[in-house]
Amino acid sequence: MKEIIEQIKKLAIGKIDENASLNKYTTYKTGGICSCVVYPKNIDKLILLLKLLRTNKIKFKILGNGSNLLFSDKKYEGVLIRLTEFNNLEIIGTRIKVGAGFSLLKLSRIAAKNSLTGLEFASGIPGTVGGAVFMNAGAYKSDMGYIVRSVKVLTPDYRIIELENKELNFHYRTSFFKTHPNFICLEANIRLHQGSRSAIENLMKSRLKRRLESQPLNYPSAGSVFRNPEGMYAGEIIEKLGLKGLKKGGAMISDKHANFIINYQNATSSDIKELIEYAKKQVKDKYNIDLKVEQEFVNWE
């Protein structure tokens, strides 16, 4: 791995964080050490990096803000790629062209300032645009699939193509990218609508107030652990089982919202995973409901 890191440096790919603690890169604030995190300067450097890693059969993963990931506590023997340099932003009327590394929270605020409506649902999602497209992030009965018109994509054979909305297969918390992980989102073309800035900002403020009252935002977490089953709320199901406040090591099923697991006291990833699996099993045993985990488990094999 040292030789690969030296080659990455020689190719001047971009900033490198060696032996990086993953608790800096995930919203759970847990995880082991990663061999290195690389920040490619541009598309050409990204392609150079991917060719190097694939040729040498080095494990890698594109990483956004880590807001939907649970890395294991062991070392990630590979390279994590962050596209934070892909942060271009262009607003033309009601259309926004934005890089995959741009903050979704920041984008929702910019849209509001420009009196553009349609992104209010994203004002509480702490991910990147690319990560949000990948998982079709959403809230309040809306998601990226409603606003993304097309995406600029890097294919596995290093071509840059444009995929239209109908090709992106957006469904509840999934997209084309989840089933085609070797395709990389580089940029999104978003279409919003003209609205009232004050109405948009008031809606975002009221939703923030509701989140602060109902969600444990003062502790590290990854948001909702489970998808809501059809016509039901996962948090209510878990609460009915009396699991609120259940602890494992430094992790706890939030006593404020049962569909959140929080890192309240130096939790390990294993603590969190055990709570997820326990809650899932209890719901299955009691109600015969197979809750689907929203978070992605990485490096557990």
Residues classed as catalytic: 173, 224, 294
Name residue 184's amino acid: I
For the record, the structure tokens of 19 come out as 């032996």
DSSP characters over 50-75: HHHHHHTT--EEEESS-TTEEE-SS-
Strands across the sheet containing 76-82: 14-21, 33-40, 76-82, 60-63
Strands 184-191 vs 160-164: parallel, antiparallel or unpaired: unpaired
Task: Quote the CA–CA distance of 98 and 93 in Å, as a whole number.
Answer: 14
3-state secondary structure at position 100: coil
Cβ neighbours of residue 192 closer than 8 Å, sequence gap 6 or more: 94, 95, 96, 111, 116, 117, 118, 119, 147
| Number of residues that this document lists for the chain | 301
Tokens of 3: 């030789």
